[in-house]
Amino acid sequence: MRLLHLVLPALLLGGCAAAGHALGTTHETTTHAGTDWSTSVSEYRGRVGQHVTFACPPNPAREGLGTVWGAEVYTDDSAVCVAAVHAGRLSFERGGRVAVEIRPGQDGYRGTDWNGVVSQPYGAWGGSFVFVER
């Protein structure tokens, strides 16, 4: 009986946590390792609500830049550091740390020219992200 008192609450709590994750209500924070200027957040697709921090190294020569699709809400295959410059969160010269929140896909993404970075428009895509305060 004592074992049941220990196991049952653990199972119930584990089930609630798993259900929250499946419903996309988690606000778990992860630090991504090995970020460069082409790194995207696509490996976190489906983890809606999760916050991920990226450390973008300085890149004054603007070498190895990935593409960006969207504005304010970006496709999850966009280069997160380049999108961060586009959004005014950091500069190529200094780099820096940015945090994003994983979001579901959108029906479309608009392109803009902000802060010296041109983002491309795109149609429906299965995953997205937005920048959040760290």
What is the torsional sign of CA 82, 84, 88, 94? negative
pLDDT at 74: 98
pTM reported for the whole predicted model: 0.80
SS3 92: coil
Assign 27 a pLDDT band (cuts: 50, 70, 90): low
Residue appearing with tokens 């579901």: 104
Structurally, at CATH architecture level, domain 24-132 sits in Beta Complex (2.170)
Q: Express each pLDDT in 44-73 by its tens digit.
A: 999 999 999 999 999 999 999 999 999 999
pLDDT at 22: 39
Assign 134 a pLDDT band (cuts: 50, 70, 90): confident
* CA angle, 65 then 119 then 71, to 5°: 125
pLDDT at 18: 33
Mean pLDDT, residues 5-20 taken together? 34
pLDDT at 17: 34
Query: How far separated are the first and last CA of the chain, in Å rounded?
Result: 45
- Say if CB 120 and CB 71 are below 8 A apart: no
Domains in the chain: boundaries: 24-132
Whole-angstrom distance, CA of residue 67 vs CA of residue 119 = 7
